[in-house]
Chain A
Amino acid sequence: MTPYDEWHLETHRLGRRVLVFDQLDSTSTTAAALANDPANDGVVVLANSQTAGRGQHGRSWQCAPGTGVLMSVLLFPPPEIRRPALLTAWAAVSVCEMVREVANLQGRIKWPNDVLLRGRKVCGILIESRAVADSRLAVVAGIGLNVNQTAAMFDDAGLPDATSLGIAAERLFDAAEVARTLIRHLDDEYTRMCHGDRATLEACWKWRLGLLGRQVEAECGDGKYHGRLREVSFDGLELEQGDATVLRLEPERVRQLRLV
């Protein structure tokens, strides 16, 4: 499988090389196959269509050819940012910032990393990591973004809770331009993290989760916890209990976070 086009964006790390394919089994599988060479740090794999797009843990990701952005980014993050909470927030916030730029809409993040527009899912993110040689960790961030799908297409596919940029903004988008804008935002946020600035990402993440001050239920591996969400940070989610105590849950423990 050879790419039909290759882009070289003027970014810091991500997208200095973008391999554009017509059709792939999965952009993440192709990106992961590049993980043996450290020089591939930041390579982006794009495809117009996937025959075996992957969603979470074995689910499929459906996208009619040419209607969305199907992208996977290969990264070898330094040890200080190898945290699930950071990587999840990085991808989801970058997607939201891109949406704001191209469509002038404010996306919300549904814990942990779905991006919603007007309550419907516009983007799915699947991040996989594995150890490779020389103590490097290869991270492949797969992003499936709905761009020009119509409501009828989602109805036909049995996805009533999905939306696209086109539906939400009531116009069509240039998918390639959307992809380039997304890569730039991913690069900006990633570069900032690598330079030690997590506060900006944390603030954007907190705001886009949008649950501060609300009564929530946090579902963890060992049970469900309730309380008023008084703080969200990479250090923990703080749930104010009725008895004036505060429970702090590490983000990585929280599987679902929802309003009650």
Chain B
Amino acid sequence: MADEAPNNPRPFNVKTVKYLITLMSQHDLSEIDLREGDLRIRLARGTLGPTVTTIAAPPVALPTAAPVAPSGPAAAPAKPAKALTEIKSPTPGTFYSKPNPESETFVRVGSRVSPTTVVCIIEAMKIFNEITADCTGVVAEILVENQQAVEYGQVLFRIDPTG
């Protein structure tokens, strides 16, 4: 059921918020409060003042290591044989796959990484943050394109620790 609308916006982004606001107004709802994991979005409208819509609740911080989470077979049913390690974006921003436009990419599918390998840069407000793999293995998947906008916690790479 979770995959019934794969083209819909991700759960917490501006498009979703706009959509929710439309729904609230159509059905005259005064409040919506949604949670998913660490993310929470609460919309309220009333007569006391304008509604304030907050986009993306988790604190934004430059990490000393990218959040890494193992994704077991349950999270990736298409690849049940291997448990891949995910490298996620620590902040909303822009993904850069190479140090500058003329350079080679930091890594490609099949590249071997160690915890200190720089895998990409995430830029936010002109702060360029080098992301290190923080794990050992081989790059199995790259899920974003160079210069793509990314969200907090978005999976950027999957690493095969047994590779």
By a beta-carbon cutoff of 8 Å, the part of chain A in contact with chain B is: 56-58, 79, 82-85, 87-88, 112-113, 125-132, 135-137, 139, 220-223, 225, 236, 238, 240, 244-255
Contact = CB atoms under 8 A, between A and B. Distances in A.
Interface stretch (B73-81, B119-127, B135-143): B119-127
A67 to B, nearest CB: 24
B26 interface: no
Given A84-B127, A130-B129, 8 more contacts: A58-B99, A58-B102, A85-B125, A129-B129, A136-B64, A250-B55, A251-B125, A253-B124
26 contacts: A58-B101, A88-B127, A112-B126, A113-B126, A128-B128, A128-B130, A130-B132, A131-B64, A131-B132, A135-B65, A137-B62, A137-B63, A139-B62, A221-B92, A221-B149, A221-B150, A223-B15, A238-B52, A245-B51, A247-B53, A248-B52, A249-B55, A250-B60, A252-B60, A252-B124, A255-B94
A250 B56 contact: yes
Interface residues of B, number: 44
A254 to B, nearest CB: 8
Contacts of B59: 83
- From B93, B128, B132, name the one whose CB has the most chain A CB atoms within 10 angstroms: B128
B128 to A, nearest CB: 5
Contacts of A130: 118, 129-130, 132
